[in-house]
Amino acid sequence: MNMEAFVLGCGGVMPLPGRHLTSVLLRREGELLLFDCGEGTQVSLRELNLRWKKISAIFISHTHADHVTGLPGMLMLSAQVDRSEPLYIIGPPRIKEFVDWARDVLEMYINYEIVVLEIENPRAGGVVYRGDGFAVRSVPLNHTRTCVGYVLEEDDRPGVFHPERAIEAGVPRGPLWARLQQGEPVTLENGAVVQPDTVVGPRRPGRKFSFITDSLHRKDLAAEVAGSDLLICEGMFHSEFRETAHEKKHMTAADAAELAAAAGGVRQMGLIHYSPRYADWQLKLLLKDAKPIFPNTFLTRDRQAIELPYRDQ
């Protein structure tokens, strides 16, 4: 099953030429999920030419303008595609107010159902969305207004089936193999019972995607993002502006790297939400700030695609 992340915008605060505001699209076997929706999101989506049909859910971290101003445009764009399922918008308190206001004042033409779910207790965290084979939970962050991160975790997959072991155990090829693969014991003609774990390996973990912006580095975040196949994390400033960053409740690139390193099992981390003070050619400073602490760090760029393969592939 394919899983890919597309960076629709990597900037923070204000858009720059070639750098839209924060937004990441996750495509999982044709299903699309959007994380934040800054200005320019729909432009990147068009430029990527994904032949997109519909987004199932949009997850909003907080109601600062650089994370939500793309939303009215995305809602209008979504009226251009056929859809019968509702579009879910999930976010902290006031997101419903923002969506209702935009729909009302802009007198939007919307030909589908929009369901806005405000996270009741953003400080507690918990599952906010369940899809087919995965769940998304919110994670409390520490910012100048109520803000949450999101972690998507796939369900475990069945273990690997070993045909040679099935033959050895005397199970004839056919429907009994399928039942064993589904984890059921089977009874042979001679009355012997074969347990699934004799022919099927242990269940295999699914993949994990984490999206963390905007926040001060919190120690408890490490446990939340541990084992991420891809961690997208704010790295707004170089450490030389550490004090400014922390005053404004943002992370430096080094803070993001410390989080990834402390978490353990993070396969790769992409920095996002760059301060507009850094021109594109200066972003390598942020990479230099992070890499000594977490070597598998990269700089996200608009319209970049990142694959998330299974670890056992």
Contact predicate 23/38, CB 8 Å: yes
Q: Which two tokens stand for residue 264?
A: 């353990």
Ramachandran angles phi, psi of 89, nearest 5°:
-120, 120
**What does R_g of the chain's alpha carbons equal in angstroms?**
22
Write out the binding residues for Zn ion, residues 5-44 only, by CB under 5 A.
12
Write out the binding residues for Zn ion, residues 139-168 only, by CB under 5 A.
none
Stretch that binds Zn ion, among 97-105, 110-118, 164-172, 210-218 (CB under 5 A): 210-218
Closest contact distance (angstroms) between CB of 62 and Zn ion is 6
Q: Which three-class secondary structure state does DSSP give residue 29?
A: coil
As beta bridge partners, residue 209 has: 152, 230
- E strand segments, the chain: 3-9, 23-28, 31-35, 55-59, 87-91, 114-118, 126-131, 134-140, 148-154, 186-187, 193-194, 208-212, 230-234, 269-272, 297-299, 305-307
66 annotated active-site: yes
Q: Which residue has the tokens 């997101």?
A: 95
Ramachandran angles phi, psi of 134, nearest 5°:
-160, 165
Closest contact distance (angstroms) between CB of 64 and Zn ion is 4
Stretch that binds Zn ion, among 25-33, 107-115, 206-214, 292-300 (CB under 5 A): 206-214
Q: Which two tokens stand for residue 292?
A: 């000594």
Contact predicate 177/166, CB 8 Å: yes
Closest contact distance (angstroms) between CB of 212 and Zn ion is 12
Stretch that binds Zn ion, among 64-72, 238-246, 253-261, 289-297 (CB under 5 A): 64-72
Which lies closer to Zn ion via its Cβ, residue 10 or residue 171? 10
Q: How far apart are CA 4 and CA 270, in angstroms?
A: 13
Which lies closer to Zn ion via its Cβ, residue 214 or residue 289? 214
As beta bridge partners, residue 252 has: 237
Closest contact distance (angstroms) between CB of 209 and Zn ion is 19
Stretch that binds Zn ion, among 61-69, 70-78, 190-198, 222-230 (CB under 5 A): 61-69
Element (H, E) at 287: helix 283-290
Which lies closer to Zn ion via its Cβ, residue 44 or residue 78? 44
Which lies closer to Zn ion via its Cβ, residue 62 or residue 207? 62
Which lies closer to Zn ion via its Cβ, residue 59 or residue 177? 59
User: Pick the catalytic residue: 36, 66, 214, 255?
Assistant: 66
Does residue 64 touch Zn ion according to CB under 5 A?
A: yes
Secondary structure of 231-253 in the HEC alphabet?
EEEECCECHHHHHHHHHCCCCEH
Closest contact distance (angstroms) between CB of 202 and Zn ion is 41
Q: Which two tokens stand for residue 288?
A: 């230099």
With contacts defined by CB under 5 A, how many residues of the chain interact with Zn ion?
4
Closest contact distance (angstroms) between CB of 238 and Zn ion is 17
Residue nearest to Zn ion (CB): 64
Stretch that binds Zn ion, among 74-82, 123-131, 211-219, 292-300 (CB under 5 A): 211-219
Which lies closer to Zn ion via its Cβ, residue 28 or residue 64? 64
Instruction: Give the footprint of Zn ion on this chain (CB under 5 A).
Output: 12, 64, 66, 214
Write out the catalytic residue numbers. 66
